[in-house]
Amino acid sequence: DQQVKQNSPSLSVQEGRISILNCDYTNSMFDYFLWYKKYPAEGPTFLISISSIKDKNEDGRFTVFLNKSAKHLSLHIVPSQPGDSAVYFCAATPGNAGNMLTFGGGTRLMVKP
């Protein structure tokens, strides 16, 4: 039973355009959500997070949107750059520090020059 799902295994976007990566979850206990970026042969790198008390969090080119009623979050990257090409994982946790992260299966983003 996958509690965090990323339904698009891959996404291809032209440089300069917006990339939108989606994530759905089923566990209503999840209270804090994170996005990680992973390059080949490297560990995941923390990108941006959002608490369930917010519906949007922005950091430079990256914005995460949370729709708690729909149990859906998305990561927007604008403008997309070739260096953004990587696998993106969304993760969720009940929000108590020390809880393990539950990850989605990842979406491979390819940004074409």
Partner 1 sequence: GAGVSQSPSNKVTEKGKDVELRCDPISGHTALYWYRQRLGQGLEFLIYFQGNSAPDKSGLPSDRFSAERTGESVSTLTIQRTQQEDSAVYLCASSPQLALEQYFGPGTRLTVT
What are the residues binding partner 1 (CB under 8 A)? 4, 6, 32, 34, 36, 41-46, 49, 89, 91, 93, 95, 97-98, 100-106
Smallest gap from residue 81 Cβ to partner 1 (A): 22
Shortest CB 16 distance to partner 1, Å: 29
* HEC letters along the chain: CCCEECCCCEEEEECCCCEEEEEEECCCCCCEEEEEEECCCCCCEEEEEEECCCCEEEECCEEEEEECCCCEEEEEECCCCHHHCEEEEEEEECCCCCCCCEECCCEEEEEEC
Residue (68 or 108) nearer to partner 1, CB? 108
